[in-house]
Amino acid sequence: MSNATLYSVSYDLVHAVLFAIGSVLPAPLHGWIESDGLVTGLAVLVFGVILLAASMLNTILLIWWERKLLGRFMDRRGAMHVGYAGLLQNFADGFKLFRKDTVRPREADPLGFVTGPTAYMVTSMIMFGILPISSGWNSGALPLSLLLALAVFSFAPLFIFVSAWSSNNKYSLMGGMRSAAQMIAYEVPLLLAVVAVVIVAGSFDLTTIVYEQQNYWFWGPLFVALVVFVAGMLAEMERIPFDLPEAEAELVEGWNTEYGGMLFAFFMLADYLRALVGSILVVLLFLGGWTMPSWVPSVATSFPLAGIVWFMVKTYAVFGVFIWIRASLPRVRTDQLLRVGWNRMIPLSLLSVFLAAALVTVKCLPVFGCVPSPGI
Amino acid sequence: MSEMWLNMGPQHPMTHGLWNLRVHIDGEVIRDVDPEMGYLHRGIEKLSEDRHYNEVVTLMDRTCYVAGLAWEHLYILASEEALHIAPPERAQYLRVLCEEFQRIASHLMWYAAFVQDIGLMTPFLYGMRDRDLILDLFQSYTGARMTYEYMRVGGVRNDVPPGFTDRARQVLDWLEPRFVEYDQLTLGSDIFHKRCDNLGVLRANDCVTQGVTGPMLRSAGLKRDLRKDRPYAVYDQLDFEVALADTADVTGRYLVRLEEMRQSVRILRQVLDWLDRHPGPVMASQLPRWLGAPYAPVGREGYLLKRNYPKGVGFSAVEEPHGEALAYVVNEGGEHPYRVKFRSPVYANIAAARHYLVGYRVADIPPIMGSVDICVGEVDR
């Protein structure tokens, strides 16, 4: 299991199945079915389906986690009735949305109205092909995976704005404009915070970044970067206190006011996909990914799939913090948000870059230990 | 994005009811506003002319659905004056009990809606949770949680059940520490101050010229409370302070309402003590028969009595949770009031929207309008 990646597992699976089929078939078909191209193609497909299923399952679990935890913060129970402790509630909600008709306003632009949410959803899902969940998740053959992940992540404002504009609704338009302004403004500090991590880790490869955290997780020495990154992520995820693009008090539902049925479900799912991606990025960049510190007894880290389990625990814990923030903070205003973004976050993120550079120069810190292999 | 008119309503989360705020916006800045009311008009004043005096109480619960008992009190005070009937003292204390519990319930409803408007979700449910305790109390002695139909001309329908005062004290004991918690959840957050300080400012002289009353007026520093300035029922025998703030903004209104809830708790403790010590009748004994039995068929004797009954007009002014509500009832003889007219405080408060909304941003509309505490039922009547 040590060197197996998810792709190699799916390749072996497809290989075994196709060769089993091929062995009972006559010669011409036999050769075709066992051809390398077909096996590779199907393996990629299976790999994708597994990723899709895993990401969807986690997204829906994430919504459940949010509903339950939010309920507890609010002195209530959250979803209780469908499935054990409401675990199947979100599936029921999803099926309801799936069965509903998609109503498109007469004056809406048909192309943008449908492609906007779809592209938003698709770009959010692409992320899961990039992010390593554990050592055996992908081959680590993406030396710039962090850069790619953030590039895909930053597609969102474009598609949100397209769907908002094509809805032909004033609330949608305002929500879309706010969303675009906010996401672009917070992209800068977010990337600068990432730069701090990259300086210390010396790599853009997420797998390498995780392994660079063997002496200490980056959240301690790069605390400023973590704060900037989490705040930026909150803005990118459009969650309270930065959820003003869909501030329901004044903008009804913001940019997805006109959406219903499955297209709305796309937005909803994509929002939580992005929330999941945000939590995963925090875990990967600052909380040591799937690794655990050496003082943790090896019993807790050596069982099968321990990496994935610990990764999920950390991810849900990080998202729990986001839920906590949502339960306890009011919403800020657009101009305040942008002012904080440009006047506070960017200086802070520059400071974090400076601190990271200082850390690499000093190499060792009293409490945390030494930089494993400063690359830059 | 150029200038445009935006219809916020009649179906909009900000409205907390059914009305339309037309906003002229330039980007995100408000240039002009035009409140449009009337979507919830049910003709309550006209309907009242066709009902027995006590049947109008039913309509009062529907006039303001979050402060039904305060509106019952308002109407009953005016019609008692018009009919020359004096209620027993215990009934008056019970009415004050109703009104103050209703004030807390209404303010909790406001708190829940207001924090929701600025994006706070948790206190919303805390407010609703605690309001439910008061609704349970209402249910225990009026039988209903929203449409009480409790007050009658000449008194109240029934006394509180045994053990009620202790249960009510338990609720008050639970509520008082909650107010501290509410403050921690809102005032404890810098974002709250960023959102609400110096927002929706309406100074005292503007309040007076626009007829704005209630917590909005008191938040501007003007010490005006009908319970003190024109005491009705037994308010002159109760010890309490008028809640005041001087910032005239959303935060000021928040502070005034929270303080009013504390003062209501103070009043209620005195009322509950009084009720424990003074048992007695809750209906006036000398009632004309056609009033005392409103649902019984009116026979010949009752009709004669009614014809000889003196005419009169009644006026009452009640410090309702939203502001100063006035009622005018004309008794021209007969079992129905000849004319009933109400003054809704929220109508004036909304109508002044141009004075406290223009110049702020679209995102400021929910907190500002939330701080007005809108109950559209009484606006349109």
Residue A309 or A249, more confident: A309
Chain A touched by B119 (CB under 8 Å): yes
Task: Judge whether A29 lies within some domain.
Answer: no
pLDDT in the model for residue B315: 92
Band of the pLDDT at B83, cuts 50, 70, 90?
confident
Which tens digits make up the pLDDT trace of B213-269?
889 889 988 888 888 888 888 888 888 888 888 888 899 999 999 999 999 999 999
Task: Judge whether B365 lies within some domain.
Answer: no
pLDDT in the model for residue B1: 56
Max mean pLDDT among A98-107, A358-367, B333-342, B349-358 falls in B349-358
Task: Judge whether A301 lies within some domain.
Answer: yes
Task: Judge whether B363 lies within some domain.
Answer: no
Chain A touched by B189 (CB under 8 Å): yes
Compute the nearest-CA separation of B182 from chain A (Å).
12
pLDDT in the model for residue A183: 82
Band of the pLDDT at B188, cuts 50, 70, 90?
confident
Total domain count, chain B: 1
Q: Which of B13, B121, B191 sits opposite A74 (nearest CB)?
A: B121
- pLDDT at A119 exceeding the cut of 70: yes
Task: Judge whether B143 lies within some domain.
Answer: yes
Band of the pLDDT at A143, cuts 50, 70, 90?
confident
pLDDT in the model for residue A1: 38
Task: Give the domain range for residue B123.
Answer: 54-356
Going by C-beta distance under 8 Å and a sequence separation of 6 or more, which residues neighbour residue A25? Answer: A33
Q: For the residues B87-94, what does the mean pLDDT come to?
A: 89
Task: Judge whether A252 lies within some domain.
Answer: yes
Tokens describing residue B223: 């010490």
A23 burial class (0-12, 13-18, 19+ CB within 10 angstroms)?
exposed
Task: Judge whether A267 lies within some domain.
Answer: yes
pLDDT in the model for residue A360: 78
> Is residue B35 within a helix (H) or strand (E), and if so which, with residue range?
strand B29-36
Burial code of A263-282, b = ≥16 C-beta within 10 A, e = fewer?
bbbbbbbbbbbbbbbbbbbb
In 3D space, the residue among B126, B195, B122, B115 whose CA is nearest the CA of residue A323 turns out to be: B122
Compute the radius of gyration of chain B from its Cα atoms.
21
Task: Judge whether A337 lies within some domain.
Answer: yes
Q: In what order do the strands lie in the sheet with B3-8?
A: B3-8, B20-26, B29-36
Q: Which of B4, B14, B194 sits opposite A332 (nearest CB)?
A: B194
Which tens digits make up the pLDDT trace of A58-81?
888 888 999 899 888 888 888 888
Instruction: Please state, for a pLDDT cut of 90, what percent of chain A lies above it.
Output: 2
B108 burial class (0-12, 13-18, 19+ CB within 10 angstroms)?
buried
pLDDT in the model for residue B101: 92
pLDDT in the model for residue A94: 85
Query: Residue A142 and residue A208: Cα distance in Å, rounded?
Result: 10
Task: Judge whether B3 lies within some domain.
Answer: no
Q: Which residues of A touch B116 (CB under 8 A)?
A: 249
Helix, strand or coil, per DSSP, at residue A97 = helix
Task: Confirm if B41 and B381 have CB atoms less than 8 A apart.
Answer: yes
Compute the nearest-CA separation of A316 from chain B (Å).
21
Q: To the nearest 10°, report the CA torsion of B161, B165, B169, B175.
A: 50
Query: Residue A38 and residue A96: Cα distance in Å, rounded?
Result: 37
Q: Which residues of A touch B1 (CB under 8 A)?
A: 173-174, 177
Chain A touched by B362 (CB under 8 Å): yes
Question: End-to-end alpha-carbon separation of chain B, Å?
Answer: 38
CB–CB of A335 and B117 under 8 A? no
Residue identified by tokens 């906590």 is: A324
Q: Which residues of A touch B24 (CB under 8 A)?
A: none
Q: For the residues A78-100, what does the mean pLDDT come to?
A: 86
CATH assignment at residue B268: 1.10.645.10
Q: For the residues A353-367, what does the mean pLDDT come to?
A: 77
Task: Judge whether B288 lies within some domain.
Answer: yes
Task: Judge whether B369 lies within some domain.
Answer: no
CB–CB of B1 and A177 under 8 A? yes
Task: Confirm if B20 and B372 have CB atoms less than 8 A apart.
Answer: no
Total domain count, chain A: 1
**Mutual angle of helices A36-73 and A306-328, in 10-degree steps:** 40
Which tens digits make up the pLDDT trace of B286-320?
776 666 554 444 445 444 455 667 788 889 999 98
Q: Most A CBs within 10 Å: which of B125, B130, B178, B372, as the mutation test of the A interface?
A: B125
Chain A touched by B2 (CB under 8 Å): no
CB–CB of A74 and B8 under 8 A? no
Q: Most B CBs within 10 Å: which of A170, A331, A335, as the mutation test of the B interface?
A: A331
Q: Which residues of B touch A241 (CB under 8 A)?
A: 119, 191
* Residues shown for chain A: 376
Which tens digits make up the pLDDT trace of B128-156?
989 999 999 999 988 888 888 888 888 88
Q: Which residues of A touch B370 (CB under 8 A)?
A: 249
Task: Give the domain range for residue A313.
Answer: 108-370
CB–CB of B186 and A330 under 8 A? yes
Which tens digits make up the pLDDT trace of B36-81?
888 888 888 888 888 888 888 888 888 888 888 899 999 999 998 8
Band of the pLDDT at B104, cuts 50, 70, 90?
very high
Helix, strand or coil, per DSSP, at residue B102 = helix
Tokens describing residue A9: 């597992």
In 3D space, the residue among B117, B25, B10, B45 whose CA is nearest the CA of residue B366 turns out to be: B117
Q: Which of B1, B13, B364 sits opposite A173 (nearest CB)?
A: B1
Residue identified by tokens 């209906």 is: B283
Separation in Å, CA A77 to CA A67, A73, B112, B121, B147: 9, 9, 19, 15, 29
Residue type at B150? Y
- Which residues of chain A have a Cβ shorter than 8 Å from any chain B Cβ? 70, 73-76, 170-171, 173-174, 177, 240-241, 243-244, 247-252, 326-336
Query: Residue B27 and residue A174: Cα distance in Å, rounded?
Result: 9
DSSP string over A247-309? -HHHHTTGGGTT--HHHHHHHHHHHHHHHHHHHHHHHHHHS-TT---TTS-GGGTSSTTHHHH
pLDDT in the model for residue B302: 47
Instruction: Please state, for a pLDDT cut of 70, what percent of chain A lies above it.
Output: 91
Q: Which residues of A touch B191 (CB under 8 A)?
A: 241, 329-332
Task: Judge whether A312 lies within some domain.
Answer: yes
Phi, psi of B6 (to 5 degrees): -120, 130
Query: Residue A63 and residue A76: Cα distance in Å, rounded?
Result: 16
Q: To the nearest 10°, report the CA torsion of A306, A309, A312, A318.
A: -70
Q: Which residues of A touch B113 (CB under 8 A)?
A: none
Residue A56 or A367, more confident: A56
Average pLDDT, chain A: 82
The count of CB pairs under 8 A between chains A and B is 86
Task: Judge whether A315 lies within some domain.
Answer: yes
Task: Judge whether B271 lies within some domain.
Answer: yes
In sequence order, the β-bridge partners of residue B7 are B22
A261 burial class (0-12, 13-18, 19+ CB within 10 angstroms)?
middle
B338: number of CA atoms within 13 Å, CB side? 11
Task: Judge whether A257 lies within some domain.
Answer: yes
CB–CB of A177 and B189 under 8 A? no
CB–CB of B121 and A249 under 8 A? no
